[in-house]
Structure 1
Amino acid sequence: MSKSPYALAPTSPEGAEPHHRVMFLSVGQTPRADLIGDMLTNLDVSIEALEIGALDGLSKAEIDDLKVRPGEQSIITRLADNTDIVVSKPRIAERMAKIAAAFHPNEFDLVVILSTGLFRDFESTCPTVNAQRAMESAVISLAAHGASVGLIQPLQQQIAELDIPALAPYKICASYAADGDRKLLAGALVDLADAEIIVLNSVSFTEADRQMVAKASGKPVVLARRIVASAIRLLLHRSQPVTLPGVSPEFAEKLLRLTPRERQVLSLVAEGLSNKAIARQLGISPKTVEIHRSNVMSKMEVTSSNALIRMVISAGHP
């Protein structure tokens, strides 16, 4: 376990919120200050960021044994020497699940699963943001609104592997590109010419990638890092936020109506979690979650969970 060298926030001024201990669990090796530091740059939340990677402490032979085999679904991740490796999605998911399950109750204020590609729930005694669940919920909410959604995956083989039953009823198309590869990103946009909204479906994509795709396509572009950062912000704010970088004044004004617990419920609803799942994470009853959820919908002036999710996405994606 390590602290991200760039993610530890400065000492909070008197009267400000205390530091929040946030554990970032990634598929590869730490440190991932490039990724974590970027997500935390614009958060007005004081965070002590810690990291653990599923490949930390393994020998080269042990890492090689986790590489994707014929017939297995794949996921790409990064090693400490900044090289990429394609590993087995099911086997790395099992390894990450064991790590998350071993965290002690209240050991961290938040656990963040830093992967868009692991289609499973992670049992943890700490509140958890699952990047894949958050992105899946975002895509469904956009597609359910009638928009044709184009997904850009980091690996070509992930197009054929894309199997999300919840997306079956909607207009979804996919292409691929590596983060930072302008040529491949441009090619992906040709494949996704009919899409109305583009989703950069990996936390490896950067804000520079988002801006390039948005400029080239002239379409709204959803960035996984922003979705995750938004969830972190909403879950950790315990006092009324005064300013919210990157958030529209209208959305910020509505957030001010919510209690700290309602903001937590808002974030988990935006991740697509059920009342029972939210109750488990927050240590409250499903009935209490239902009450909070109703209050959130009323105060945010929306009539459905999909509308709420679209509002959260729009707030963080100009």
Structure 2
Amino acid sequence: MFLSVGQSPRADIIDEMLESLDLPIVPVEIGALDGLSSAQIADLKVRPGEASIVTRLADGSDVVISKPRIAERMAAIAAGFHRNEFDLVVILSTGLFRDFESTCPMVNAQRAMESTVISLAAQGAAVGLVQPLAQQINELDIPALASYRVTASYAADGDKALLANALLDLADCEIIVLNSVSFTDADRQMVAKASGKPVVLARRIIASAIRLLLHGTHPATAPGVSTEFTEKLQRLTPRERQVLSLVAEGLSNKAIARQLGISPKTVEIHRSNVMSKMEVSSSNTLIRMVVAAGHP
């Protein structure tokens, strides 16, 4: 299940990810704005003091809406899924700074991106974030990043001029993160070529998380993934791969336990096994390994 902020379908995002995954996935999609009238969507416009998020409607147009109120709507949808109704639920949006309760295994795009940025910054790298809206630069609030070197700029997906301007703002950064699922691989390639720096794409982070969670049932070797990483993955049991992916999102043992329907103590055992088999000593190192595997 792909749960997006706007209206379905979002074939522009999902088809690209499915192609890169090369797994026998049957996608189902719900947009949080599906079925709403123009007046109801307009009622979700940003009010004073609210953070904003931009999303796409079925007609291809973009709309800026209230982040906290659309997050509540999405949380209600996710909470309504029954255990084992879906093999995986994917929250297909960065920018939603909240946990979503679910009895299905879940990929939360924002959590996955957040843990990626933290792991890169913790390594000492100066990280540049490209947000889709100018106002999101001031709205960015990730307490865990407060002590790291993180600079934000903005650009719309596909807008070469704005992306070029963003790179000027982020000239001193060593790694660029395109922090929205709307950015495409073409955007990534352009930014990488113009900057000469590594560029992290949200879609690839999400695809990596999906691959890890489904790898146990449908093992597959993705093009460009190192043989060493693949061999280490093969050491893991299906459950350990699920735990690996959720650890990479920065989830606590209790949160992982709720999603997988097991006890926190069992999660702790799986987590220890994962660290040992992947030959890493910290969660940050594990996350960097996953990021590298998803970004050949």
Q: What TM bracket, shorter-length normalisation?
A: over 0.9
Which residue is 1:286 aligned to? Answer: 264
Structure 1 residue aligned with 2:78, among 82, 88, 100? 100
Q: Using the alignment, how far apart are the partners of 2:139 and 2:220 within structure 1?
A: 43
| 3-state SS, counterpart of residue 167 of structure 2 | helix
Residue 162 (str. 1) matches residue 152 (str. 2) = no
Residue 30 (str. 1) matches residue 17 (str. 2) = no
Which residue is 1:109 aligned to? Answer: 87
Contact 1:43 1:245 in 2 (8 A): no
| Structure 1 letter corresponding to 2:170 | L
Distance 1:102 1:240, change over 3 A: closer
Deviations 1:233-252 (A, max 9, x none): 11012247352223111111
Q: Using the alignment, how far apart are the partners of 1:88 and 1:33 within structure 2?
A: 24
Equivalent residues in 2 for 1:1-318, closer than 5 Å: 23-239=1-217, 241-318=219-296
Deviations 1:273-315 (A, max 9, x none): 0111111111111111111111111111111000000000011
Q: Using the alignment, how far apart are the partners of 2:184 and 2:83 within structure 1?
A: 33
Which residue is 1:8 aligned to? Answer: none
| 3-state SS, counterpart of residue 20 of structure 2 | coil
| Structure 1 letter corresponding to 2:181 | V
Contact 1:240 1:260 in 2 (8 A): no
| 3-state SS, counterpart of residue 118 of structure 1 | coil
Distance 1:303 1:87, change over 3 A: same
| 3-state SS, counterpart of residue 28 of structure 2 | strand
| Structure 1 letter corresponding to 2:137 | I
Deviations 1:120-139 (A, max 9, x none): 01111211110000000000
| Structure 2 letter corresponding to 1:128 | M
Q: Using the alignment, how far apart are the partners of 2:279 and 2:39 within structure 1?
A: 54
Q: Structure 1 stretch 104-113 or stretch 73-82: which is displaced more?
A: 104-113
| 3-state SS, counterpart of residue 157 of structure 2 | coil
Q: Using the alignment, how far apart are the partners of 1:98 and 1:242 within structure 2?
A: 33
Shift of 1:213: 0.5
Q: Using the alignment, how far apart are the partners of 1:282 and 1:220 within structure 2?
A: 34
Please, what is the CA RMSD of the aligned residues?
1.0
Q: Using the alignment, how far apart are the partners of 1:195 and 1:116 within structure 2?
A: 21
Q: Using the alignment, how far apart are the partners of 1:114 and 1:262 within structure 2?
A: 24
| Structure 1 letter corresponding to 2:16 | D
Unaligned runs of 5+ in 2: none
Distance 1:56 1:239, change over 3 A: closer
| 3-state SS, counterpart of residue 109 of structure 1 | coil
| Structure 1 letter corresponding to 2:72 | E
Unaligned runs of 5+ in 1: 1-22
| 3-state SS, counterpart of residue 150 of structure 1 | strand
- The alignment-based identity, stated in percent, is 82
| Structure 2 letter corresponding to 1:36 | I
Q: Structure 1 stretch 194-203 or stretch 64-73: which is displaced more?
A: 64-73
Contact 2:102 2:258 in 1 (8 A): no
| 3-state SS, counterpart of residue 155 of structure 1 | coil
Which residue is 1:3 aligned to? Answer: none
Contact 1:279 1:286 in 2 (8 A): yes
Q: Using the alignment, how far apart are the partners of 1:90 and 1:36 within structure 2?
A: 24
| 3-state SS, counterpart of residue 279 of structure 1 | helix
Displaced runs of 4 or more, over 3 A: none
Shift of 1:68: 1.2
